[in-house]
Amino acid sequence: MLQVREAMDELGMLCHVRCRRFPSLPDWVYTAPDVQKIYDHFNDGWDLPEGADPKLVKRIGTYLERTWALLDEEPLKPARGIPAYKLSSCDDWLVSANEVRSALDACKASGRHIEDIFRGSRDLELWAEWIAWLEESVECGGFRVS
């Protein structure tokens, strides 16, 4: 997949912008399992951990909402490709339909022959599957990287 990502960059399908910093949550607030339980509460409507402090639950809820907003953010409007950082980790980034569409448009506008980029690599078949999948993802509102 690395060669596919490099090809995307070469074809102008990626944009290089900085990601905003993730919100910080003090280590002492809760242990990781407790944060997961509170996450499940906010995300899936599960019951809160027994004895959970409502003020801390609210703070963690705010943290989660800010994190989700960052993960769903489109940093450039109008989109100019897929932000490279969204394909650099599995943090549940949303790659929006606008970002995918602009990446596909950049690929078509590049006028480059993909065979020249892959030079006989077996990844050429993967590239065709990837482009088809990206085209489908536009119809679904984008995709999550996780």
Question: What pLDDT score was predicted for residue 64?
Answer: 81
**125 — pLDDT class (breaks 50, 70, 90):** confident
Question: What pLDDT score was predicted for residue 85?
Answer: 95
Q: How much is the average pLDDT of 4-26?
A: 89
Helix 2-10 and helix 123-139, axial crossing angle in degrees, nearest 10: 70
Question: What pLDDT score was predicted for residue 93?
Answer: 95
Asked if the model's pLDDT at residue 28 lies above 70, the reply is: no
Cβ proximity of 102 and 80 under 8 Å: yes
Question: What pLDDT score was predicted for residue 113?
Answer: 85
Q: How much is the average pLDDT of 92-114?
A: 94
* Rounded Cα–Cα distance for residues 14 and 5 (Å): 9
* Rounded Cα–Cα distance for residues 79 and 27 (Å): 35
- At 122, list the tokens: 């077996």
Mean pLDDT computed over every residue of the chain? 85
Asked if the model's pLDDT at residue 18 lies above 80, the reply is: yes
DSSP 45: -
